[in-house]
Amino acid sequence: MRHRRYGKKLIGTGELTSGCEQFRDLFRDRAGCASTSAATAPEPCVAYDGCNGGTPVHYCQHAGGHVWPELGSQAMWDFFKQFVR
C-alpha cells in the first residue's frame, strides 16, 4: 500500500516566522506543487496549484498566534472529506 502525502497547514500571523514558512513550503515542495495557489473554502485558505496526483496541499493563514482558529475545524473537514469514499 502506498501512503499518500498531503497537507493542511494552519498558521497564525502571530506565529508566522521563517521557520513556519519553511515548514509550509516543505509540504508544498514534497507534493510537487507550484508556488502559486488559488482560493479555496473556507476563506482565507488557498490550495496550491499543480500538486502531484493524490497529494493536494492547502494553506490557511489566520490572525492570532499558536491557537486553534475559528476556521480550523471547517478547514480540516473541507480538506479531508475529499478522501472519504
Given this model, what pLDDT does residue 77 score? 92
d(CA 82, CA 85): 8
Strands 37-39, 7-12: parallel, antiparallel or unpaired by DSSP? unpaired
pTM above 0.85, yes or no: no
Given this model, what pLDDT does residue 34 score? 97
Residues of the chain with pLDDT under 50: 1-6
Domain ranges of the chain: 7-83
Q: What does residue 59 show for φ and ψ, rounded to 5 degrees?
A: -135, 130
Given this model, what pLDDT does residue 84 score? 86
Given this model, what pLDDT does residue 38 score? 97
- Best CA proximity match to 55, nearest among 81, 30, 22, 23: 30
Instruction: Please report where in the chains the cell 513550503 appears, as a residue.
Output: 25
Residue 29 grid cell: 515542495
